[in-house]
């Protein structure tokens, strides 16, 4: 029996991914790599919507979706994974139906649960890469720590009001590695009350950042272009401006620094949270 790694693209796959195949940076080998890839998307909400849709369309073979929330009318302003007919359904179920409609070749693994200190490392370890679309700092710290300990690349974004930011973390790499989330934002989880529900968000904004996330995820899976690791991308929707800031690892970081003290996920370190 021919393994997934050894197989050729089918005629239908050649037609579906034709615009990828003519790109020298992708080609048949790259498309097969995408089809073999496993990506975990945390949050089937505003950022998760374009992430899931574009990764499915690109042919990422397995998408894991983490979200315990149900579809609410207020979600529809920025979460086009879901529609009126999905109100009251689990978001992972609605998102899975959307993936099926886009690309039935993609396998969806539904994690209809909160990402917690008890399950984060096990869930994240089952995937090649993590895309964080969560909506609160506590969950971002948890994803960061688990991704680092599992040695998984993390592409993360955040939005609020009219502003967005995005970066990639690969602090687990040997040598002069880039920063982790704690390097940039400190080690105090702090006050987590502010969210889009509190201060608002323009509906198209997460679509922009989530689409950029999808691009960075695909780049990392294919190993092409310049990684966003070591740079923080800032977007201001009101001025239509992008700014890139160089970032560095913190030598005193308790997670990725030389004197690291965080070597496991402890339940009392995080405030339980889920993705939006």
267 pLDDT higher than 80: no
pLDDT band at 172, cuts 50/70/90?
Answer: very high
Report the range of poorest mean pLDDT among 158-172, 173-187, 223-237: 173-187
- How many helices and strands (H and E) does the chain possess? 10, 8
What is the pLDDT, as a whole number, of residue 192?
52
pLDDT at 5: 53
pLDDT, tens only, 81-123: 999 999 999 999 999 999 999 999 999 999 999 999 999 999 9
Reported confidence tier of residue 166, pLDDT bands at 50, 70, 90: very high
Give residue-wise pLDDT tens across range 19-36: 999 999 999 999 999 999
Provide the percentage of residues in the chain whose pLDDT is more than 70: 92
Q: How far is residue 60's CA from residue 46's CA, in Å, rounded to a whole number?
A: 20
Residues facing residue 129 across a β-bridge: 39, 153
- Nearest-CA neighbor of 219 among 13, 86, 25? 25
């Amino acid at each position: 029996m021919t393994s997934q790694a050894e197989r050729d693209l089918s005629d239908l796959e050649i037609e579906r991914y034709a615009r990828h195949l003519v790109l020298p940076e992708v080609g048949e080998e790259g498309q097969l790599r995408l089809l073999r890839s496993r990506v975990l998307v945390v949050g089937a909400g505003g950022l998760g919507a374009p992430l899931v849709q574009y990764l499915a369309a690109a042919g990422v073979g397995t998408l894991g979706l983490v979200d315990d929330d149900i579809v609410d009318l207020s979600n529809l302003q920025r979460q086009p994974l879901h529609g009126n007919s999905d109100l009251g359904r689990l978001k992972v179920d609605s998102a899975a139906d959307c993936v099926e409609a886009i690309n039935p070749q993609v396998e969806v693994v539904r994690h209809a649960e909160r990402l917690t200190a008890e399950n984060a490392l096990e869930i994240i370890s089952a995937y090649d890469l993590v895309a964080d679309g969560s909506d609160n700092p506590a969950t971002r710290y948890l994803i960061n720590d688990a991704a680092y300990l599992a040695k998984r690349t993390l592409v993360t974004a955040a939005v609020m009001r009219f502003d967005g930011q995005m970066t990639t973390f690969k602090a687990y790499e040997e040598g002069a590695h880039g920063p982790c989330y704690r390097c940039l934002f400190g080690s105090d989880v702090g006050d987590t009350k502010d969210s889009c529900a509190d201060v608002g968000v323009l509906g198209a904004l997460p679509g922009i950042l989530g689409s950029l996330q999808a691009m960075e995820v695909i780049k990392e899976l294919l190993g092409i272009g310049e990684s966003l690791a070591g740079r923080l991308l800032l977007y201001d929707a009101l001025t239509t401006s992008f700014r890139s800031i160089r970032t560095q690892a913190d030598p005193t970081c308790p997670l990725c620094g030389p004197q690291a003290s965080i070597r496991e996920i402890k339940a009392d370190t995080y405030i339980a949270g889920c993705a939006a």
